[in-house]
Amino acid sequence: MFYREAGQFKTNYAADMAVFPILQDKIGIALILTLALVVIPLAGNAFFLSVVMIPFLIFALASIGLNLLTGYTGLLSLGTAGFMGVGAFACYKLTTIFPGVNIIVWILTSGLFAAAVGVFFGLPSLRIKGFYLAVATLAAQFFLQWCFIRIPWLYNYNVSGAIEVPTRTLFGIPVTGPNASPEMRYYVVLGIVILLTWVASNLVHGRIGRSWMAVRDMDIAAELMGIKLLPTKLLAFAVSSFYCGVAGALMVFLWYGGAEPEVFSINQSFLILFMVIIGGLGSLTGSFFGAALIYILPIVLRGAPSLVGLNIGAATVEHLTFMIVGALIIFFLIVEPHGLARLWQTGKQKLRVWPFPY
Amino acid sequence: MRAPDMDAGVTAGDVLLAVENVSLRFGGVKAITDVSFDIRKGEIRAIIGPNGAGKTSMLNVINGFYHPQDGRITFKGRTRSKMRPYVAASQGIARTFQNVALFKGMTTLDNIMAGRTLKMRRGFFWQMLRHGPAMAEEIEHRKVVEEIIDFLEIEAIRKVPVGRLPYGLQKRVELGRALAMEPELLLLDEPMAGMNLEEKEDMCRFILDVNSQFGTTIALIEHDMGVVMDLSDRVVVLEYGRKIADGVPDEVKSNQAVIDAYLGVPH
Ligand SMILES: Nc1ncnc2c1ncn2[C@@H]1O[C@H](COP(=O)(O)OP(=O)(O)OP(=O)(O)O)[C@@H](O)[C@H]1O
Ligand SMILES: [Mg+2]
């Protein structure tokens, strides 16, 4: 198949403003959706769904959240895990207080709680930028994690100090808790991730996305064009934290099935920041690439030796995995500091004009 | 692109903006000292002066980025002790910058579209869907932006991230972004600095066309005397933050204080 736009003339602005203006891109998206919606659930076994796909989608969602803030609006945040935790604990409290309401409603609502907390910790962003803002969000991270440990009300005074996910159903089929099937959990996660990715794409391609990027690229000029800095930045914090909050709720309810506050530690924040940077700041596709590289690749590497019949000790495999992933990250950053998304873009551009590059 | 609506109170030839006794200090540095002048509706007003004279600072005072310690600013009949950037923008003041201040990571199209932000009304809900009213609005503004792109002859670079454009074109895109605001008063800070002769001629043509076709009032900072004399209706001259002359180009050219300032007579 040729990746070409020749012969595809755009006759109106709506067509030109489409997120995927080229036919081949549309086909690509359709293929990916079919793969995700039909092929993977049919072909994949329970292990593949629960250990690879569900976590990958959840990480991609959290990366999109952080990318909206850091990649699109230029506000560096280390509080991602904290905001995810707010989502998870909010969802837990909501579903234990109002067990009758559908869990999906609570998962999405918990994002609103994270958004409110995000806005609060985003307030300093009017005055401080860059590393100083990162330090302020770090304070948020530590404060929130402290709350998750020290406020027993949040985990319903469980002796374990952890969230214990109850069984909740959708149309009579369990989606959370020990009886939920991997297929069901996968479909719920996938549905939410597709929906929120579509919304994020709409936001960044319109007025709001342009305001965010304007603030990121040249805040003085943005302000003199009538873009109010504080509301724009706070909106970025709100939307970003909403995504992180939903990702956090999904993580606990549809992946782990229970969680200690330790899950929402600073390490998790860094992991998602890596995904965003490797994938590409300011790219939604990049968020998926980043999540794949950082989460899926190590799994593949760990599984590879036994697949090809090599007999290496588990510890050695673990060390090798770390080294290979680390080396790859550095390699990609040297080849393309703007992340995998840019590499993908450049590749597509080359394909478009291939074989005559001039 | 429509000509901006004529404000009820201000018709061509009336004072659109008046600056009275403005003084601005940064710590001990006196950037502007007791300067008064006005800009009339429909004219091209040049602000000239040696380096560090306070020209850029004056534009920053006018659109509210700097707040003067003393003085008053009257725009469209409303007197204020200081402007605010948001008020200036929404009341119809747009500007370009001495050192291009474009949104580097965004395309030409998105930069100019960003100039329409204040005119876009659809809220968060519709933006999330990007269908129906939000899309209709987006298309409506895209049409205006395409007219600006045609006007500035930058069709070919529509989808190029502006960070990759040569300097001359960046200045042109920046003018486009300011025009997208459909301003009543356009402030241009050295729009021709660093350009070659051909680019300068193009830019002069655009400035004159903006002024005559859309009736936009323009305040222009420029070092090239030939350009200033050709383009402007009236000139104000600053030196060390003070106004030393004000009048039509011929008057200013023969003013002794101005000649001294430019030839560097010791004080
Ligand atoms: N933000 C600031 N902080 C401190 N001093 C400033 C600031 N902005 C301007 N100044 C000072 O104010 C004076 C006037 O500067 P301004 O930039 O307005 O000059 P200008 O006339 O635009 O000069 P040029 O032709 O070089 O652009 C200078 O002495 C400058 O150092
Ligand atoms: Mg200047």
C-alpha of B223 from chain center: 15
Residue range A268-313, pLDDT digits in tens? 999 999 999 999 999 999 999 999 999 999 888 888 777 777 777 7
pLDDT, average across residues A197-201: 97
Closest residue in chain A to residue B96, using alpha carbons only? A221
Query: Encoding tokens for residue A241?
Result: 């934290």
Q: How far is B103 from chain A (nearest CA, A)?
A: 5
Domain B1-92+184-267 has CATH 3.30.450.30: no
**Mapping DSSP to helix (H, G, I), strand (E, B) and coil, where does residue A329 land?**
helix
pLDDT at B5: 46
- Taking the centre of ligand 2 as the mean of its atom positions, its distance from the CA of residue B57, in whole angstroms, is 7
Residue range(s) of every CATH 3.40.50.300 domain in chain B: 1-92+184-267
pLDDT at B10: 64
Task: Centre a 10 Å sphere on the Cβ of residue A317 and count the other Cβ atoms it contains.
Answer: 17
Asked if residues B51 and B235 have their Cβ atoms less than 8 Å apart, the reply is no
With a pLDDT cut of 90, the percent of chain B lying above it is 83
Asked if residues A229 and A126 have their Cβ atoms less than 8 Å apart, the reply is yes
> In whole angstroms, what is the distance from residue A65 CA to residue A249 CA?
13
**Atom of ligand 1 lying closest to residue B241 CA:** 14
With a pLDDT cut of 70, the percent of chain A lying above it is 95
* Beta bridge partners of residue B74, listed in sequence order: B18, B79
With a pLDDT cut of 90, the percent of chain A lying above it is 61
Q: How far is B252 from chain A (nearest CA, A)?
A: 31
- Taking the centre of ligand 1 as the mean of its atom positions, its distance from the CA of residue B31, in whole angstroms, is 6
CA angle, A101 then A105 then A111, to 5°: 130
pLDDT, average across residues B238-264: 89
Query: Encoding tokens for residue B196?
Result: 């070659």
CA-closest residue to ligand 1 atom 4: B26
Going by C-alpha positions, the residue among B63, B14, B47, B75 that lies closest to residue B232 is: B47
Cβ separation B113–A282 shorter than 8 A:
no
Q: Is pLDDT of A356 > 90?
A: no
Residue range A75-133, pLDDT digits in tens? 999 999 999 999 999 999 999 999 999 999 999 999 999 999 999 999 998 888 888 99
**Atom of ligand 1 lying closest to residue B66 CA:** 1
Q: Which pLDDT band, with edges at 50, 70 and 90, does B7 fall under? A: very low
CA atoms within 13 A on the CB side of A242: 16
Domains of chain A listed by start with CATH number: 21-353 (1.10.3470)
Q: Is pLDDT of A358 > 80?
A: no
CA-closest residue to ligand 1 atom 23: B52
pLDDT at B8: 47
Is the minimum distance from the CB of B51 to ligand 1 under 6 angstroms?
A: yes
- Taking the centre of ligand 1 as the mean of its atom positions, its distance from the CA of residue B33, in whole angstroms, is 13
* Alpha-carbon distances of A21 from A18, A210, B8, rounded to whole Å: 5, 19, 44
> In whole angstroms, what is the distance from residue B41 CA to residue B14 CA?
6
Predicted ipTM of the assembly: 0.92
- Phi/psi for A324 (5° steps) reads -65, -45
Is the minimum distance from the CB of B31 to ligand 1 under 6 angstroms?
A: yes
Query: Encoding tokens for residue B6?
Result: 């004529």
Cβ separation A210–B113 shorter than 8 A:
yes
Cβ separation B106–A214 shorter than 8 A:
yes
Q: Identify the nearest ligand to the CA of B58 by its number.
A: 1
**Atom of ligand 1 lying closest to residue B24 CA:** 12
pLDDT at A7: 58
Q: Is pLDDT of B267 > 60?
A: no
> In whole angstroms, what is the distance from residue A251 CA to residue A86 CA?
12
Closest residue in chain A to residue B106, using alpha carbons only? A213
Residue B113 buriedness (CB in 10 A; 0-12 / 13-18 / 19+): buried
- Phi/psi for B34 (5° steps) reads 50, 55
Ligand 2 (single-atom ion) residues, CB below 5 Å: B 56, 98
Cβ separation A14–B135 shorter than 8 A:
yes
pTM of full prediction above 0.90: yes
Amino acid at A127: R
Q: Which pLDDT band, with edges at 50, 70 and 90, does A355 fall under? A: low
pLDDT at A172: 87
Q: Strand B185-189 to strand B93-96: parallel, antiparallel, or no bridges (unpaired)?
A: parallel
CA angle, A238 then A242 then A243, to 5°: 125
Bond from prior residue into B161 cis (ω within 30 degrees of 0): no
Chain A residues within 8 A of B95 when measuring between CB atoms: 224
